[in-house]
Structure 1
Amino acid sequence: MDLNYLKRLLKIFDDSTLSELSIEEEGIKVQLARTSQQPQPVQVVTQVPVQASQVQAAPLQQPASAPPEQKSAPAEADHSANTVFSPIVGTFYRSPAPDADPFVVVGQRVAVGDTLCIIEAMKLMNEIESNLAGTIIKILVDNSQPVEYNQPLFIIKPD
């Protein structure tokens, strides 16, 4: 193996995209390996703490064509003492099992702590209890219907 042969090998290796080359000839072994001279890219992530005073919600604007008194919730669904609201997001069930009687029906009297329904959230069954004594006037949600947080569920006429 002569010097010109080695120089040509080095030139070919430099011009190629090979990372390693090994040649053995006449009992002489030549190994070439490429080491990275370029710095590896580093991703820098910085977080800036957000203060509550910096974040403000944009005011909600109604479309010009919508009447100003239009509401998405029923008129009975105000936050008065006789409306029971969903405390969580989930699926509303009127009874403990598909073939069982509902917990409450319209016209039924309930006491504080009586179970009104179940809301399933993430495979957990959450019993929703009455927060006042009275008579069920209206059930605002159908069985197996998805409900949102703070959605009205029942209207109860207090005793």
Structure 2
Amino acid sequence: MTKNTHDADVAFIQALAELLNENDLTELQVKRDYAEDDSLNVRVSRKPPQQIMAPQQMHASAAPMAAAAPAPAAAAPAAAAPAAEQASDPADHPGAVTSPMVGTVYLQGEPGAPAFISVGASVAEGDTLLIVEAMKTMNHIPAPRAGTIKRILVADGDAVEFGAPLVILE
């Protein structure tokens, strides 16, 4: 790889980081093919500011490459919860089930099918709560424990970030 190509790649990566910030994205991945045996794979990501990671998820090499911008606040439904609970961040709720990845939420297995869950429904540990589609892969999100669905914080087709609260399970 020549110095000229290296400088162009650095400029390209900096442009991706700027694009990440300008569009309030959390991750961007691009592959550039130069020749049959010469390519550049770039993944630029940042940690959302309100993201809380469990110790087993933390990695020393997971430092963000770009400065984080404020994330939009999740809208809380007006029904089924006391006013004090609505005022607090749903991600702080002890029964919050969060998204393990960035993707699109689906509340049913296929269009027209019944939803996996509803408010007030009882679920067993391992039951599918919803699906998060990431990179054309349907990822079933299981219930981490048995309980009752108190709130559903996302709508069908919503885009979600890593660590975003999806459901309150008590």
Normalising to structure 2: TM-score of the pair? 0.51
Is 1:72 the counterpart of 2:73 in the alignment? yes
RMSD: 3.3
Match of 1:87 in 2: 100
Match of 1:35 in 2: none
Match of 1:103 in 2: 116
Deviation at 1:76, TM superposition (A): 4.7
Match of 1:19 in 2: none
Contact residue 91 and residue 98 of structure 2 kept, 8 A: no
Is 1:121 the counterpart of 2:122 in the alignment? no
Cα 1:109–1:57 change in 2 (3 A) is: same
Q: Aligned partners of 1:56 and 1:108: how far apart in 2? A: 38
Give 1:140-151 correspondences, 5 Å limit: 140-151=153-164
Partner deviation per Cα, 1:1-38 (whole Å, 9 max, x = no partner): xxxxxxxxxxxxxxxxxxxxxxxxxxxxxxxxxxxxxx
User: How many residue pairs are counted as aligned between the two chains?
Assistant: 102
Deviation at 1:80, TM superposition (A): 4.4
Identity within the alignment, % = 41
5+ unaligned residues in a row in structure 1: which ranges? 1-40, 47-51, 63-70
Q: Aligned partners of 1:104 and 1:98: how far apart in 2? A: 15
Match of 2:152 among 124, 139, 143: 139
Cα 1:42–1:131 change in 2 (3 A) is: closer
Q: Aligned partners of 1:94 and 1:152: how far apart in 2? A: 14
Match of 1:16 in 2: none
Q: Aligned partners of 1:107 and 1:155: how far apart in 2? A: 11
Cα 1:95–1:58 change in 2 (3 A) is: closer
Partner deviation per Cα, 1:97-125 (whole Å, 9 max, x = no partner): 01100001110001110000001111100
Deviation at 1:43, TM superposition (A): 3.9
Amino acid at match of 1:72: A
Normalising to structure 1: TM-score of the pair? 0.54
Say which structure is richer in helix.
2
Q: Aligned partners of 2:108 and 2:135: how far apart in 1? A: 18
5+ unaligned residues in a row in structure 2: which ranges? 8-59, 77-87
Deviation at 1:77, TM superposition (A): 1.5
Q: Aligned partners of 1:56 and 1:146: how far apart in 2? A: 21
Deviation at 1:137, TM superposition (A): 0.3
Deviation at 1:72, TM superposition (A): 3.1
